Amino acid sequence: MAVMAMAAALRGPGGRFRWRTQATAGGVRGSARGAAAGRQDYNLLVIGGGSGGLACAKEAAQLGMKVAVVDYVEPSPRGTRWGLGGTCVNVGCIPKKLIHQAALLGGMIRDAPHYGWDVAQPVLHDWRKMAEAVQNYVKSLNWGHRVQLQDRKVKYFNIKASFVNEHTICGVTKGGKETLLSAEHIVIATGGRPRYPTHIEGALEYGITSDDIFWLKESPGKTLVVGASYVALECAGFLTGLGLDTTVMMRSIPLRGFDQQMSSLVTAYMASQGTRFLKHCTPSRVQKLPDGQLQVTWEDLTSGKENMGTFSTVLWAIGRIPETRSLNLENAGINTNPNSQKILVDAQEATSVPHIYAIGDVAEGRPELTPTAIMAGKLLARRLYGQSLDVMDYSNVPTTVFTPLEYGCVGLSEEEAMARHGEEHVEVYHAYYKPLEFTVAERDASQCYIKMVCLRKPPQLVLGLHFLGPNAGEVTQGFALGIKVPGPQACLEPLLMESVGGGAGPPTSR
């Protein structure tokens, strides 16, 4: 109530709300008290300058709000650090897709002689050159984001934030200087970071993660990728494609949560391209040998036997943890899921504290994808400041796994469809096909495959679409509309056939 009264008193002449908190002095002690001079007032304070946070901040500023973004990158355990823009820009989608492209180009160079190109042999790849080009591009994006914030008059603070109370955060710079910032609304968009195993000797000391791989100046060499996530398979895929000896070690199934038939085709293609898979294996120790190589000991869970191998690099891709640990969420009364540590949110993205919101990877139950974080951020700003009522629709979001043969999907997997509707009510249409560009190049197309998961009852509503083949991202994006705006199988089929070219017969049901 006191908060409401003070808020009313501070409503600006144009009716625009300007929050000024008094709670900071009581909530912060010691050096933080000295930071009171740097106290700021904002309509919106966004914690985290990644995909969701930046989108929300820019949209709110465009709607005339006084906005601040705080962003701080804690260096990885290997010491890798990067600039503004969050995971996608620096250590996710962008460098990943560019290095995937570098790997695909290798395949095209191998195809080229079939198409008449005289390619001098041997064709070598220079990691250093590629890394420099990719890193320069990422740095240009970092700069671009800073300029965009400036242009929109969004105040940017390079500080690590934690809550003092429900309207105030304390931010600490790299040098330890503290700043208190307060706002009417606060959006938490702090994303997540890769998880290291805690029980494996040498894991943290000698291993790297996706936070490091894109910033390596030198080739990682012979690499062991541990994990079965899409990040694990994508990294292993591009490393193999660049000609590196690459092994994936997984304890259980690949791409948990994705359609399992498609997942096994993804790994089958990777294996055909040279990626080695150690399935049902789990590492127990990483030791550094005198020559700098890493000796990994692992257990084969099927045979119970212990094995050893030597690698230049060990990359952990065993999942991600949300960045909530250092936010002191309890100071603001924000509830998290005790298992996932993610912030609990409602359909409006509101946390347990009504004026504090959470979007993107840090929020419970949200897809860990950039476009959804961006859209959620924009829509939230429009609801808060633009008189919009539109909420984010998280259903049927298309996604693509950028493995050497790309896998795009939208809607339900076959397993999910059967679990939801019953096996007897689900019809699956499928087809193997040969992309035209594979023919002249004599590429093996055994894993190029499409599958439509439909309801059996006419008009056979399409529940899920799965595509494994070149340019899956682009293909799936288009078909997502056909799933979003529900339609029968008969509508999508001709389009699908057009999209994969002449190599496929009509999909048959099974």
Q: Which residues bind ligand FAD (CB under 6 A)?
A: 47-53, 70-73, 86-88, 91-93, 96, 160-161, 189-191, 210, 231, 323, 326-327, 360-362, 368-371, 373
| Cβ 371 to ligand FAD shortest distance, Å | 6
| Cβ 85 to ligand FAD shortest distance, Å | 7
**CB-side exposure of 484: number of CA atoms within 13 Å?**
11
230 annotated ligand binder: yes
192 annotated ligand binder: no
227 annotated ligand binder: yes
Short-list 427, 232, 434, 416, CA closest to 314? 232
| Cβ 472 to ligand FAD shortest distance, Å | 12
229 annotated ligand binder: yes
Instruction: Give the neighbor-by-neighbor strand order of the sheet with 246-250.
Output: 276-279, 246-250, 223-226, 313-316
124 annotated ligand binder: no
272 annotated ligand binder: no
Residue 160, beta-bridge partner list: 172
490 annotated ligand binder: no
Closer CB to ligand FAD, 317 or 462, in the complex = 317
Burial class (CB in 10 A: 0-12, 13-18, 19+), 360: buried
Q: Where does residue 353 fall: left (phi above 0), alpha (psi -120 to 50 degrees), or beta otherwise?
A: beta
Short-list 284, 288, 319, CA closest to 300? 284
| Cβ 174 to ligand FAD shortest distance, Å | 12
Distance CA 408, CA 249 (A): 23
Closer CB to ligand FAD, 263 or 489, in the complex = 263
- In angstroms and rounded to an integer, the radius of gyration of the C-alpha atoms of the chain is 25
Closer CB to ligand FAD, 134 or 362, in the complex = 362
| Cβ 71 to ligand FAD shortest distance, Å | 5
| Cβ 119 to ligand FAD shortest distance, Å | 30
| Cβ 158 to ligand FAD shortest distance, Å | 9
Closer CB to ligand FAD, 16 or 325, in the complex = 325
266 annotated ligand binder: no
Distance CA 89, CA 75 (A): 16
120 annotated ligand binder: no
Distance CA 201, CA 206 (A): 9
Element containing residue 69 per DSSP (H, E): strand 67-70
Closer CB to ligand FAD, 283 or 322, in the complex = 322
418 and 493 Cβ atoms separated by less than 8 Å: no
Closer CB to ligand FAD, 370 or 460, in the complex = 370
Distance CA 73, CA 341 (A): 19
Closer CB to ligand FAD, 434 or 466, in the complex = 466
Q: Is the dihedral of CA 108, 112, 117, 118 positive or negative?
A: positive
Known binding-site residues for NAD(+) equal 227-234, 319
Binding-site residue numbers are 97, 227-234, 319, 361
